[in-house]
Amino acid sequence: MLDLWIMRLGHRPSRDKRVTTHVALSARALGAKGILVSTKDGPLETNIRSVVERFGGDFAIETGIDWRRRLMDFEGTVVHLTMYGMHIDDAIPKIPEGPLLVVVGAEKVPAEVYQRADLNVAVGNQPHSEIAAMAIFLDRFTDGEGLRRQMEGKLRIVPNERGKTVVEISR
């Protein structure tokens, strides 16, 4: 697994509950090690940990972090996803191997994030969802490998053209 983390800035539990949940679930499914959320949100942590327990994987969640300190102290490459950045196709080859922190905002992102980022990356230059931007970035950055890995959990979804097949794994 890559040493790749997502940082969610500006999470507002009353307003962004489903969006931040989807950021976390997408990050997990697409190969991130975990998510750091700026605002404390116990129910979000419980929900994501429940998914990890049931469906497997090694994904961490921490909410209520001191995002400025974590951002400034991060030893690795910081990528900020924004519609004002360098096009994703031009940016990905410039990202070195090693620890990676991908920052996605919920509300107006402070200027210091743009300044600290090693790369400000745009997934298109039009307003759209941070979930979509992060998913596209992770899929391209991992060459689609995030979607191919098996996560050993209590439940496994078996792909099929029609219907839903969920298998309970006994251990």
Each residue of 95-151: pLDDT tens digit?
Answer: 999 999 999 988 889 999 999 999 999 998 888 888 999 999 999 999 998 888 877
| The pLDDT of residue 171 | 64
Using the Cα atoms of residue 76, residue 77, residue 78 and residue 79 in order, give the sign of their dihedral: negative
Query: Are the CB atoms for 38 and 11 separated by under 8 Å?
Result: yes
Q: Which residue's structure tokens are 């429940």? A: 50
Q: Which two tokens stand for residue 38?
A: 């700026």
Closest CA to 45 of 55, 59, 57, 31: 59
Architecture of the domain defined by 4-168: 3-Layer(aba) Sandwich (3.40)
| The pLDDT of residue 8 | 95
Contacts for 105 with CB less than 8 Å, ≥ 6 apart: 8, 9, 10, 82, 113, 130
Q: Mutual orientation of helices 13-29 and 130-141 as an angle, nearest 10°?
A: 20
Using the Cα atoms of residue 119, residue 120, residue 124 and residue 129 in order, give the sign of their dihedral: positive
**Alpha-carbon distance values, 60 to 11, 56, 171 (Å):** 17, 12, 23
Each residue of 46-83: pLDDT tens digit?
Answer: 999 999 999 888 899 999 999 999 999 999 999 999 98
Query: Are the CB atoms for 102 and 6 separated by under 8 Å?
Result: yes
**What pTM did the predictor assign?**
0.91
Each residue of 8-46: pLDDT tens digit?
Answer: 998 777 777 789 999 999 999 999 999 999 999 999 999
